[in-house]
Structure 1
Amino acid sequence: MTRLLFLVCALLMAFGVSAQTENINKNPFRQLYMELPTPNVYRNAAGAPGHQYWQQKADYVMDVRLDDATQRIYGTSTITYHNNSPDVLDYLWLQLDQNVRALDSDTYKTGTSNMSERMTLGALARLEPTFDGGFKIDYVQSVEGKPMEYTIERTMMRVELAQPLKPGEKVQLKLKWWYNINNRLTDGGGRSGSEYFEKDDNFLYTIAQFYPRMALYIDNEGWQNKQFLGSGEFTLTFGDYDVKITVPTDHLVAATGTLQNPNTVLTKQQRDRLEMAKKEFVQPVIIASQEEAVEREKTKLTKEQTWHFKAENVRDFAFASSRKFIWDAMAVKQEDGSTTMAMSMYPKEGNPLWERFSTKAVAHTLKWYSHYTFAYPYPVAWSINAADIGMEYPMICFNFGRVEEDGTYSDRTKYGMIGVIIHEVGHNYFPMIVNSDERQWTWMDEGLNTFLQYLTEQQWERNYPSRRGPADKIVDYMKGDKAFISPIMTNSESIWQFGNNAYGKPATALNILRETIMGREQFDYAFKQYANRWKFKHPAPADLFRTMEDASAIDLDWFWRGWFFTTDHTDIALSKVTPFRVNSRNPEKENALAKQRQAEGPRNISDIRNEEIAQTYDEQDPSLKDFYTDYDPLKATVLDQEEYQSYLKGLSEAERAVLDADKYYYELTFENLGGLVMPIILEFTFADGTTEVQKIPAEIWRRDYKKVSKVFPFAKEVTAIELDPFLETADTDRSNNYYPSQSEETRFELFQSRQRGAGENPMQRDRRAKEKEGSNR
């Protein structure tokens, strides 16, 4: 018996310990020690670079030729690689990102596909690659011209070193290559390539990833040689660039860096206009007009000339070239007193939209991103009009946005274009300067940039129709099927719903941090600390997480865990409201209230129907009546008053104050149905019509993250309560956010077999309406 009792006790103790351990392991307020890397001499516990932080450097001297007749790039480069690490390197890794378009690319092989009973020829053609993309490497040599052994592994190339590269040493290698330029519209899209304009038989080139680039070697990753499959973008080493680009003589070229030979490649008129633009801070100056661009479209010169650019301390280089380009520019005064040139190039197919908005959007972006981070450090910021998606590189970005043939455009086109320019120019800050690992963590540049894009859009125009940022815009994603939702902390190539995961959710999380968790002042201070600590360096997620806490004294581990490491969503229910009043023990007051409640309270059906009884027995026979027949237990007596006065004399001053206040007390019970702990924001409406907002920090859930209660005292009676009244927490089900409960109306749209003005944009419809009004006069 004793042994059996011992076993039972042991099992109960084990169950209790197991349950306690499970509760601790699931507690969203446990610290992030297990998830974050251990601080060290390279990255400290405050989220800043450590006292032995280091990073590599790669300098490039390149000669590149764009063959407009064959749509090819030919290039040679000399790379000087500086080993600033404490490690000895036996080999170097280079990125060959163009190989993502090779006929044997893993991107094609790993892409899923299916067949149906009805297939188009275009769909069948896309089942196998036809474009012969990818780098063709002619040689890899030492600077002395000796062949270097190399191995190409899909989108990466390992170069063997004749001698190990010791700390503090540098090595030079020379490369020669070429590749076919993909058509951005017909060869599977892409971040760069060519666009063909059939009407005037011309090309517009936006060229990037056009040279073998040094992979990043870093303290927390070693070589970042994860293969490029198309989603995870680029992680690169800072360095200096000296690049010569040979193109047809009638082309205009925009590129990373500063033009070194304007007297050779620009006309005197263009140079004079550019000097004017350097003094203009309000309106862009046209450097090359639309009329001039149209004339160049007709010439199609085959003679070539070379544009020479230099850039210092950049992580990449890109350029654009076309005879179709219109060019405008204006100066931007930075907060530190420096001046940057905001410039745009675009074909006539972008006008009047681009001439009116592009360069001003560039200038606006530099102003507000600098406000939230640091002064823009480069001499120029370009916006280039291109087909398809937007894409960013140091000092230059490619952005969509075209008008209809009649010059009109929809509001979606306008705001989409302005938004993408803000976003892509903003990428100069993240990740071109705050150089995070895009191959591993897309959200560290896209999410942070989308957040700042939202802030900048709202400074552009009141009620700007931003797609992402506010909490309510992420609700549909957060409440979706979890089988197709990834945690933010998921590698770029493995993400479900790329846009929502890497752009929308982290941007929303940062906006919630700023508006609801930390407050604008604390958030802005901490975020600026992060940006300045890591500009021209290589931060990791832990560096952001730790800096935001270090600079604010706010424990955010629960927030990072919930929003970045899980797929939980916010659904906090106001499940119960129980009102209370203090019993004053004043017999006259309390008895009167009791009588009122009895009179006004609900009556059961039997009592109501019993009124039909003609005569009760004691009404028939009065002798049945006694003291209790007419006794009123709620009648206050002299003895009741004496007992009440004695009770008052025994109260302390503090207790008497509570009694005299005679407040209304409401016990509110909240349930965490979505799993994501968040602050509880409540708006109380009182009987006199006034309102009051109370905010309870998320730490209220720290001991029980599933269900909590809290009592709220008020001097006035509460008639209504709303949870999350300002849509701050991305609550996915607002039907349980009200007291008294209420349902939110859903509007449905009636089906119309024919819609008026189908295919028209608002500008065209307005034009047609005005023409009709004129004809009716």
Structure 2
Amino acid sequence: MRLPFLLTAGVVAALAGPWVAPASAQSTNSGTDKFAQLGQELPTPNTYRTASGAPGKDYWQQRADYNIKVSLNDDNQSISGAEDITYTNLSPDKLTYLWLQLDANIYAPNSMTASTQTAELKDKLSFQALEYIQRTGFDGSFKIEDVRVKGGKTLPYTVNYTMMRIDLPQALAPKQSITFSVKWHYNVNDHLKLGGRSGYELFPEDKNVLYEIAQFYPRMAVYDDVNGWQHKQFLGTGEFTLPFGDYRVAITAPADHVVGATGTLQNPDQVLTATQRKRLEEAKSAKKPVVIVTQAEATQAEKNHAKATKTWVYAAKNVRDFAWASSRKFIWDAMGTQVEGKPVLAMSYYPKEANPLWGQYSTEAVAHTIRTYSKYTIPYQYPVAISVHGSIGGMEYPMLCFNGYRPEKDGTYSAGTKYGLISVVIHEVGHNFFPMIINSDERQWTWMDEGLNTFMQYLTEQEWERNYPSRRGEPRQIVDYMRADRNVQNPIMTNSESVLQLGNNAYGKPATALNILRETVMGRQLFDFAFKTYAQRWAYKHPKPADFFRTMEDASGVDLDWFWRGWFYGTDHTDLAIEGVQWYKVDSKNPEVENARRREELNAAPQSLSQQRNLQDIQKTLIDDKPELKDFYNGFDALAVTDADKAAYQKYVATLSPQQQETLSKGLNFYQVNLKNLGGLVMPVIVQMTYADGSKEVVNIPAEIWRRNNAEVTKVFVTEKPVAAFTLDPFLQTADTDLSNNAFPRQLAPSRFELFQQQQQAAPNPMQQRNVSSQQPQRVGGGSTGGGK
């Protein structure tokens, strides 16, 4: 940091009142206004969707109610079904045809997914990878057997890859309904071989299958005021856009299977034993998970492979979808929780291979998620919330989700496995809120469900355990992605199927953006109110990005267009730098003070090299030999203070106001800090000043400091104590991608590299290494019945 310059009295007087640098000094015409309002990027408000972000007075949405009967064939892993769909047209438009989604058709040999799949061949290729590339030997697409008006004539239909159009015999007028029937069958995919969001897992040891079933029935597409029919093809990434309705689903499965599903079980007397029904009732008021189907019961069922069947009937009201799981391997536990006085039953289904990890954590994580999300959004409305374990790593449906992570065969597990399980349960259960209730268009905008949900997952994880090791949410965790080459990035506002890095783009970056909004831009109070307002406004409706952006601004009173533009519509990154600091002190005009300071500076100033050598080489100067050459100036002290100097100072002080006199007397320090925006993303400037005495002060400057010049600005800081160092973003709040230019004077930040053997080791499992017992008793109410793995 440079030695201080002096400020003249005129500058001091100006600084005593309001002052900013003139526009010519602080602005530039870069051709890009990063603070321009979002105009053409957002749709024009109307009576359906208002400028405030709330639904308008004429807002409408369609409804689809389902009565479904399906049968699971455990011998050949197939499903057959029949459904009655009652579709109600609440739009102002006449509809001459309806569109349904046939998502399982991505497993057709000629699917668009298969034909547009890209791959690279390596020197080595596994049979599984080759099978996935070839897509041979398996057809998991829907086979439509019949479509007709219920109890009436056949309806013509056209299948276009994953979409099916049904032509109506006459136009469906506003406020009218039609009930039609569809009959179908299809083969369930082996999830370990083909992946997907639904499928089965075979356990070779006992030759049993665990089914996690979704997208198993032809489902109505959304017709809305923005897109008309949302019938973009399902290619595998963009998830599902669905209307709300009531469901009644009868699932016929082998008699020794346990079936869990969206909704509440309607016929427990027919499918559960008296003991299991008693446990289920006990679970509703239990404070810890109660085991309804024990591990011993599941293990016994694994040996039977019954040929008889049972039909499980489930019903759900006002949901957008339905999913279920079935296996004779299932252990089932549950516990009750309360959300604003309303009971919710948290439940888990899992095979013995998942214990003891699942028995200890899954249902507790379900209940914790429901309570925490309800606090920040809306109270959870549904009667149950379910976590199911199988090979599907994480996938969400109303009231039910599929989650991965299981321990080693000896029951031990690494910390990564433990926290991976808790996190995936929180994330997938959290999807009950986004998008199952706040029902965004996943086929178009993945970030509206995944990004918002990942942000809420972060908040929920931090309430589970102090300093929980969250993978996403903290700004520093998105830095590597933000500073990556722009060729591998998309704006967040990119269609789901076109995103290059889905995890970073649709999960991590929007979650981080919301965390920065909450902690740095808006503050928790304003953010939390606005975020809750969005959830309340759009619960059980179909929000779009503009509805979210507008509501966050409307409810908080904060102009955020610059933030949406930078974080959601662009690929700039944060890289703010301190390019230099100039230190100024006030010229007090007091000769005793200023002359003493000047004398100190002169005495402290180093001698030049020539001066140092002359002291040795020149023994005597001419003046030393001839003292008669000396005159008045050889003994004159220019810094000596005279009575005239003191009188002149007193006369000057008398011309100043009391406020100006106080400014002169304080000995203030003025620091001109030169700031540059190297990354292009305008962000708040957080400056930490470390004073010479070791104390610190943090100043938060809104992003609007960049409004006249997006690239470079100067900021003056006035302090009573001298500053030893300036640091930008000391708490890593802004996802700054280069910390080396954040400090002045510059500070070296150490980096590290890791040495490793060519053969990488598996993740550490200290529990296994130290022979820690993993056995956890199975719980029934508050007691234990033994068991474990």
Matches within 5 A, 1:24-43: 26-43=32-49
2:713 to 708, 716, 720: 708
Deviations 1:462-510 (A, max 9, x none): 1110000111111111111110011000000000110000000000000
Deviations 1:237-291 (A, max 9, x none): 00011111100000001001111111001111110011111111x2011101000
Matches within 5 A, 1:460-499: 460-499=464-503
Matched, 1:679 2:684: yes
Partner of 1:351 in structure 2? 355
Q: 1:178 to 1:603 in 2, by over 3 A?
A: farther
- Percent identity of equivalent pairs: 58
The answer to whether the Cα contact below 8 Å between 2:475 and 2:512 also exists between their aligned partners in 1 is yes
The answer to whether the Cα contact below 8 Å between 1:64 and 1:75 also exists between their aligned partners in 2 is yes
Matches within 5 A, 1:222-301: 222-280=228-286, 282-301=287-306
Partner of 2:183 in structure 1? 176
The answer to whether the Cα contact below 8 Å between 2:414 and 2:763 also exists between their aligned partners in 1 is no
Partner of 1:203 in structure 2? 209
Q: What is the letter of the counterpart of residue 655 of structure 2?
A: G
Task: Tell me how far apart the structure 1 counterparts of residues 524 and 312 of structure 2 sit (CA, whole Å).
Answer: 45
Partner of 2:586 in structure 1? 582
Return 5+ residue gaps in structure 1 as ranges.
1-19, 771-777
Return 5+ residue gaps in structure 2 as ranges.
1-25, 775-789
Partner of 1:221 in structure 2? 227
- How many Å apart are 1:405 and its aligned residue? 0.9
- How many Å apart are 1:626 and its aligned residue? 2.8
SS at structure 2 position matched to 1:126 = helix
**Range with greater deviation from structure 2 (119-128 or 346-355):** 119-128
Matched, 1:330 2:335: yes
Task: Tell me how far apart the structure 2 counterparts of residues 105 and 400 of structure 1 sit (CA, whole Å).
Answer: 28
Q: 1:703 to 1:234 in 2, by over 3 A?
A: same
1:457 to 437, 457, 461: 461
Partner of 2:785 in structure 1? none
Task: Tell me how far apart the structure 2 counterparts of residues 312 and 126 of structure 1 sit (CA, whole Å).
Answer: 38
Q: What is the letter of the counterpart of residue 251 of structure 1?
A: H
Moved beyond 6 Å, runs of 4+: none
Q: 1:87 to 1:758 in 2, by over 3 A?
A: closer
The answer to whether the Cα contact below 8 Å between 1:24 and 1:30 also exists between their aligned partners in 2 is no
The answer to whether the Cα contact below 8 Å between 2:202 and 2:210 also exists between their aligned partners in 1 is yes
The answer to whether the Cα contact below 8 Å between 1:277 and 1:330 also exists between their aligned partners in 2 is yes
Q: 1:754 to 1:135 in 2, by over 3 A?
A: closer
Task: Tell me how far apart the structure 2 counterparts of residues 236 and 753 of structure 1 sit (CA, whole Å).
Answer: 49
SS at structure 1 position matched to 2:191 = coil
Deviations 1:537-585 (A, max 9, x none): 0000111111111111111111111110000100000111111110001
Partner of 2:309 in structure 1? 304
Partner of 1:626 in structure 2? 631
1:409 to 397, 413, 427: 413
- How many Å apart are 1:63 and its aligned residue? 0.6
- How many Å apart are 1:722 and its aligned residue? 1.2
Partner of 2:197 in structure 1? 191
Matched, 1:545 2:523: no
Q: 1:85 to 1:342 in 2, by over 3 A?
A: same
Task: Tell me how far apart the structure 2 counterparts of residues 276 and 500 of structure 1 sit (CA, whole Å).
Answer: 43
Matches within 5 A, 1:335-414: 335=340, 337-414=341-418
SS at structure 1 position matched to 2:633 = coil
Task: Tell me how far apart the structure 1 counterparts of residues 691 and 343 of structure 2 sit (CA, whole Å).
Answer: 55
- How many Å apart are 1:760 and its aligned residue? 5.3
Q: 1:767 to 1:738 in 2, by over 3 A?
A: same
Q: What is the letter of the counterpart of residue 153 of structure 2?
A: K
SS at structure 2 position matched to 1:204 = strand
Q: What is the letter of the counterpart of residue 612 of structure 2?
A: I
Q: What is the letter of the counterpart of residue 306 of structure 2?
A: L
The answer to whether the Cα contact below 8 Å between 2:295 and 2:331 also exists between their aligned partners in 1 is yes
Q: 1:124 to 1:250 in 2, by over 3 A?
A: closer
Task: Tell me how far apart the structure 2 counterparts of residues 267 and 321 of structure 1 sit (CA, whole Å).
Answer: 17
SS at structure 2 position matched to 1:210 = coil
Task: Tell me how far apart the structure 1 counterparts of residues 339 and 352 of structure 2 sit (CA, whole Å).
Answer: 31
* Structure showing greater relative contact order (alpha-carbon pairs closer than 8 Å, 6 or more residues apart): 2
Task: Tell me how far apart the structure 1 counterparts of residues 209 and 33 of structure 2 sit (CA, whole Å).
Answer: 58
1:764 to 759, 765, 768: 768
Task: Tell me how far apart the structure 2 counterparts of residues 605 and 747 of structure 1 sit (CA, whole Å).
Answer: 42
Q: 1:751 to 1:176 in 2, by over 3 A?
A: closer
- How many Å apart are 1:23 and its aligned residue? 4.0
Task: Tell me how far apart the structure 2 counterparts of residues 266 and 260 of structure 1 sit (CA, whole Å).
Answer: 11
Q: 1:190 to 1:662 in 2, by over 3 A?
A: same
Task: Tell me how far apart the structure 2 counterparts of residues 239 and 119 of structure 1 sit (CA, whole Å).
Answer: 46
Partner of 2:435 in structure 1? 431
SS at structure 1 position matched to 2:152 = coil
1:77 to 79, 83, 104: 83
Matched, 1:141 2:148: yes
The answer to whether the Cα contact below 8 Å between 1:434 and 1:534 also exists between their aligned partners in 2 is yes
Matched, 1:127 2:133: yes
Task: Tell me how far apart the structure 2 counterparts of residues 160 and 519 of structure 1 sit (CA, whole Å).
Answer: 52
Partner of 2:513 in structure 1? 509
The answer to whether the Cα contact below 8 Å between 2:403 and 2:424 also exists between their aligned partners in 1 is yes
- How many Å apart are 1:112 and its aligned residue? 1.3
Task: Tell me how far apart the structure 2 counterparts of residues 630 and 138 of structure 1 sit (CA, whole Å).
Answer: 116
Q: What is the letter of the counterpart of residue 219 of structure 1?
A: D
The answer to whether the Cα contact below 8 Å between 1:255 and 1:309 also exists between their aligned partners in 2 is yes
The answer to whether the Cα contact below 8 Å between 2:392 and 2:402 also exists between their aligned partners in 1 is no
The answer to whether the Cα contact below 8 Å between 2:258 and 2:327 also exists between their aligned partners in 1 is yes
Partner of 1:102 in structure 2? 108
Q: 1:322 to 1:41 in 2, by over 3 A?
A: same
- How many Å apart are 1:633 and its aligned residue? 2.1
Task: Tell me how far apart the structure 1 counterparts of residues 773 and 354 of structure 2 sit (CA, whole Å).
Answer: 25
Task: Tell me how far apart the structure 2 counterparts of residues 72 and 751 of structure 1 sit (CA, whole Å).
Answer: 47
Task: Tell me how far apart the structure 1 counterparts of residues 148 and 216 of structure 2 sit (CA, whole Å).
Answer: 19
- How many Å apart are 1:21 and its aligned residue? 14
- How many Å apart are 1:304 and its aligned residue? 0.7
**Range with greater deviation from structure 2 (100-109 or 67-76):** 100-109
The answer to whether the Cα contact below 8 Å between 2:29 and 2:709 also exists between their aligned partners in 1 is no
2:59 to 53, 62, 79: 53
Q: What is the letter of the counterpart of residue 652 of structure 2?
A: Y
Q: 1:603 to 1:497 in 2, by over 3 A?
A: farther
SS at structure 2 position matched to 1:607 = helix
SS at structure 1 position matched to 2:97 = strand
Alpha-carbon RMSD across the aligned residues, in angstroms, is: 1.8
- How many Å apart are 1:453 and its aligned residue? 0.4
Partner of 1:157 in structure 2? 164
Q: What is the letter of the counterpart of residue 186 of structure 2?
A: Y
Partner of 2:320 in structure 1? 315
Q: What is the letter of the counterpart of residue 459 of structure 1?
A: E
Task: Tell me how far apart the structure 2 counterparts of residues 768 and 57 of structure 1 sit (CA, whole Å).
Answer: 54
Deviations 1:57-114 (A, max 9, x none): 0011111001100100101111111000011111111111001111111112112122
Partner of 1:4 in structure 2? none
Q: What is the letter of the counterpart of residue 523 of structure 2?
A: G
Partner of 1:595 in structure 2? 599
Task: Tell me how far apart the structure 2 counterparts of residues 498 and 636 of structure 1 sit (CA, whole Å).
Answer: 73
Q: 1:655 to 1:100 in 2, by over 3 A?
A: same
Q: What is the letter of the counterpart of residue 288 of structure 1?
A: V
Q: 1:760 to 1:553 in 2, by over 3 A?
A: closer
TM-score, normalising length: structure 1: 0.94
SS at structure 2 position matched to 1:86 = coil
Deviations 1:297-317 (A, max 9, x none): 001001011111111100000
Task: Tell me how far apart the structure 1 counterparts of residues 697 and 121 of structure 2 sit (CA, whole Å).
Answer: 59
Task: Tell me how far apart the structure 2 counterparts of residues 21 and 589 of structure 1 sit (CA, whole Å).
Answer: 38
TM-score, normalising length: structure 2: 0.93
Q: 1:301 to 1:22 in 2, by over 3 A?
A: farther
Task: Tell me how far apart the structure 2 counterparts of residues 303 and 326 of structure 1 sit (CA, whole Å).
Answer: 20
Matched, 1:722 2:727: yes
